[in-house]
Amino acid sequence: MRRAVVQVGIQRPVNAHESSSCRPTHVAARQVLACKVVAYERGGGVNGGHIAYVWDDARVTYVISVHGYANEPRARAMMAALIAAAAG
């Protein structure tokens, strides 16, 4: 499932001629992947033009995808809240 959602839907959308701009970063002391997904009109698909945060926790992958690159602080805050909730 991770391959279908993250690798194909976010990191390298099938219809895009380029990869998304992804970088590792830390949120709430956990390593996550932050990606600016290729724009929809350039083949980015359903997540096109989104900022996506991806966190792997054991065997579960969590994805938060928010429209608009300017919403990165919002996506980061949402991921921090998700990590805190999952940590219990």
* pLDDT at residue 1, as a whole number: 75
23-70 pLDDT, tens digit each: 999 999 999 999 999 999 999 999 999 999 999 998 899 999 999 999
Between CA 63 and CA 10 the distance in angstroms is 10
pTM of whole model > 0.75? yes
Type of residue numbered 34: A
Distance of CA 9 to the CA centre of its chain: 10
